[in-house]
Amino acid sequence: MTARRRPADRLVRSYVVTDGRAHPTRNTLDLVTLLVVTDDLPLTGLNPEKRRLMELCRPGALSVAEVAGHLSLPVSVAKVLIADLMDSGHLITRAPIPAARPTDARILQEVLDGLRARL
Amino acid sequence: MTDQIPEAVFWCLALGLFAVTVLLVRQHGITARQRRRNEELAHGLRARDTELRHLLTVRLPEVEDAADRTAPQTDLLDTGLADTDFAACLDEVLDRFAAAVEHAEARADESAKAAVKASMRSIQALANEQQVSIAEMQDRHDHPDVLRDLLEVDHTNAQFGRRAQAIAVLCGSWPGRQRATSALIEVVRGATSRIRDYRRIRINGEVDIAVQSRAVEPVVLAVAELLDNAARHSQPHTTVEVTIQTVHNGACVVIDDAGVGMDGQAVDHADELLSGRRTMDVTRLGDPPRFGFAVIGALAERYGFSVSAGTLSPYGGVRAVVFLPTGLLTHLETVQDAAPTATASEPGPTRYSAPEPTAARNSTPVRARASETAPARTAGHAPAPDRVPGPPPAVEPTSPAASTVETTPRSTAPSALAPGESTTAGGLPKRRRRSLREAAEKPAAVPTVEVGGRSAEENARRMGAFARGTRSGRTAQSTPYEDEGNRHE
């Protein structure tokens, strides 16, 4: 449907992208971890995929799954790259926005009252 | 009277003696001449014998072994025989023999090539199939240990595919894969992917040059063979430096190794093979077969790039230079710009009667665009119009397909979409990331946007109502907490 080739047809194979590594340096990443670019570290010395990743994340937060999709790389390969970029300080992660956690019913009740009063 | 008899006898005897002497002398002369002639004849015979033996032991094997039948062969041993019928006959024998050998070899080579080519084709197909399934497995399995094993398998498979491809090319087949126009650095990294010691390759140089689709696979294959040679003939702890640079008439990939280097004879041999002038046959690859340079030579000649490997590298090894002429290259920006536009407007040809058959082929929009805009770029024109959002597409009259492609998204979705992030092929809007920066840059654009026929205020009101309802429902029921997401630090 789209012009993008199948990932199987990639010219540059995954082991070249990760320089032969399969284990990310940290295992705190999963599909929905949000990636945020820390400001203005130079991109010199990064391989093209990492550079592309940084460019993808620069406009705003992007999840690991989305990054992998845009780079048309397997998620586990993308994780290796992301972990490297986190080590070098180019990226920071933010946990996904958590599910609502109603800890204190009283506060919620107050918020609700306040909202009702306003609307 | 009687005293005259002895005198007469004497004279008779004298006369007889004289006659005998004369006869003897003549006989002697004749004998000597005869002997000389005999000797000459014997010599001639010996010379012909030797010549025949020479033909059998030296000249015929030479013809048999010579790869090039037109090369000067060893001459007659005895120059005295040069203009004789005998020599002419010998030459005739030699020619006939050469023709017969050539014919037989050509037939053998042809059938060997056909057999090898067919089997390599099927091996190549299997390697490709395996590569697809390995890639799918990489997508499917998330565990690093599994990925590590898959990467290893993938690596081996890539080398295996390259070998099959190289032999197939040597047998006169095409490199096999059709690829999209790719950046030169990707091409070199693609070549790196196919060799054993890929981690020793260092790629330097940044150029925004891309290789045209038809040349991608051949260049990948040629560079891979050079890299493989470089890595194979140098110490395992040394690196192989690859430098990419643009030159006046195209681009160069320079490969320097710190290996053993080549002596003069090897350089001559390599030059001969790399030039592609000498057709290499599969029966002459040696044992173990060395076909790297022959493959490169065949590819270079067929696709019009050139490779030289004669010079000494700064690290003491071999410096190999791949020169890609401008005809095989295109600009990288053209490719990148063409990709989203073509993606966004693929239904175009079905809705609009596209004038060009190339535009109707959905599988090759990028290539078609790249080749259309490439001449304009290389000729030094202004940037291609697809980079500028404002001006009408009619500014480039030379490419009707491009203008059709350009108008398609704009006429269907007038003002809602920015040029960078239009719709997918199915007509769905693409997700746009929230960003503080972008929001701050263009605040005025937001209220005018209408989604689904409702204004932004209407949407906000509905969302607010939804949020209120949800909240009140939750507090009323006090649903137990469920952690749906994954935990993070």
Residue B131 contacts A, CB cutoff 8 Å: yes
pLDDT in tens, B419-457: 445 566 666 666 655 554 444 444 444 444 455 566 777
Burial (CB < 10 A; 0-12, 13-18, 19+), residue B384, is: buried
Please determine, for residue B250, whether its predicted confidence score (pLDDT) is greater than 70: yes
B293: number of Cβ within 10 Å: 24
pLDDT, average across residues B207-218: 91
State the Cα–Cα distance between residues B178 and B401, nearest whole angstrom.
Answer: 22
- For B288-336, what is each residue's pLDDT tens digit? 777 888 899 999 999 999 999 888 889 989 999 999 999 999 987 655 5
Cβ contact A11–B482 (<8 Å): no
At residue B369's C-alpha, the angle toward residues B364 and B372, to 5°, is 125
- Report B:158-177 residues touching A (Cβ under 8 A): 158, 177
The CB density around residue A42, as the number of other CB atoms within 10 Å, is 7
Q: Under an 8 A CB cutoff, do B158 and A13 touch?
A: yes
In the block, tokens 């091409």 appear at B187
Most A-contacting residue of B130, B145, B147 (CB-CB within 10 A), to test interface:
B147
In the block, tokens 């696979």 appear at B217
Which residues of chain A make contact with B179, given a CB cutoff of 8 A? 9, 11
Looking at the DSSP bridge assignments, the partners of residue B312 are B318
Residue, of B345 and B327, whose pLDDT is higher: B327
Q: Say if the Cβ atoms of A98 and B485 lie within 8 Å.
A: yes
Interface test with B, best of A15, A26, A73 (most B CBs within 10 A): A15
What is the DSSP-derived secondary structure letter of residue A26? -
Measured in angstroms, the CA of B461 and the nearest CA of chain A are apart by 11
Provide the mean pLDDT of chain B: 75
Query: Is the pLDDT confidence value at B364 over 80?
Result: no
pLDDT at B246: 92
pLDDT value of position B432: 59
With beta carbons under 8 A apart, name residues in chain A contacting B138: 14, 74, 76-77
What are the residues whose beta carbons fall under 8 Å from the beta carbon of A31, sequence distance 6 or more?
A63, A64, A65, A75, B486
Residue B441 in contact with partner chain A when CB distance is under 8 A: no
Burial of B414 (0-12, 13-18, 19+ CB in 10 A): exposed
Q: Is residue A1 part of a domain?
A: no
Does B483 contact chain A (CB < 8 Å)?
A: yes
- Number of A/B CB contacts below 8 angstroms equals 149
Higher local confidence (pLDDT), B453 or B82: B82
Whether the CB-CB separation of A77 and B138 falls below 8 Å is answered with yes
In tens, the pLDDT along B383-427 reads: 444 444 444 444 344 444 444 444 444 444 444 444 445 566 666
Cβ neighbourhood burial of B71 (10 Å; 0-12, 13-18, 19+): exposed
- Report the residue of chain A nearest B338, measured CA to CA: A3
Banded model confidence at residue B461, pLDDT cuts 50, 70, 90: confident
| Contact check, Cβ <8 Å, A76/B141 | yes
| Separation of first and last alpha carbons in chain A | 47
A8 interaction partners in chain B (CB closer than 8 Å): 131-132, 134-136
Residue type, B277: R
Q: Is residue A114 part of a domain?
A: yes
pLDDT tops 70 at residue B103: yes
pTM of the model: 0.62
Residues of A in contact with B433 (CB under 8 A): 59-62
More confident residue, A89 or B451: A89
Does some domain include residue A2? no
CB nearest to A8's CB, from B136, B434, B485: B136
How many structural domains is chain A composed of?
1
Contact A96 B142 (CB under 8 A): no
- Min CA distance, B65 vs chain A (Å)? 42
Q: Is residue B484 within 8 Å of A99, Cβ to Cβ?
A: yes
Most confident of B48-52, B111-115, B249-253: B249-253
Q: Is B153 on the interface with A (CB under 8 A)?
A: no
- How does B87-115 read in b/e, with b if 16+ C-beta sit within 10 Å? beebeeebeeebeebeeebeeebeeebee
pLDDT at A9: 72
CB spacing of B151 vs A14 below 8 angstroms: yes
Least Cα separation, residue B368 to chain A (angstroms): 12
Which helix H or strand E contains A95, and what residues bound it?
none
B475: nearest CB among A12, A62, A108: A108
Q: Which of B53-67, B116-130, B397-411 has the lowest mean pLDDT?
A: B397-411
Please report whether residue A52 resides in a domain: yes
How much is the pLDDT for A27?
A: 82
CB B139 within 8 A of CB A74: yes
Looking at residue B154, its amino acid is D
Q: Nearest by CB to B148, from A23, A111, A115: name it.
A: A23
Q: What is the mean pLDDT of residues B73-86?
A: 75
Is B138 in contact with A74 (Cβ distance < 8 A)?
Answer: yes
Domain with A37, as residue range(s), is: 7-118
Token code pair at residue B97:
């023999």
CB of B477 less than 8 A from some CB of A: no
Taking an 8 Å cut-off on Cβ atoms, the answer to whether A99 and B190 are in contact is no
pLDDT tens digits, residue range A23-52?
Answer: 998 888 888 888 888 877 888 888 889 999
- Within an 8 Å CB–CB cutoff, is residue B148 touching chain A? yes
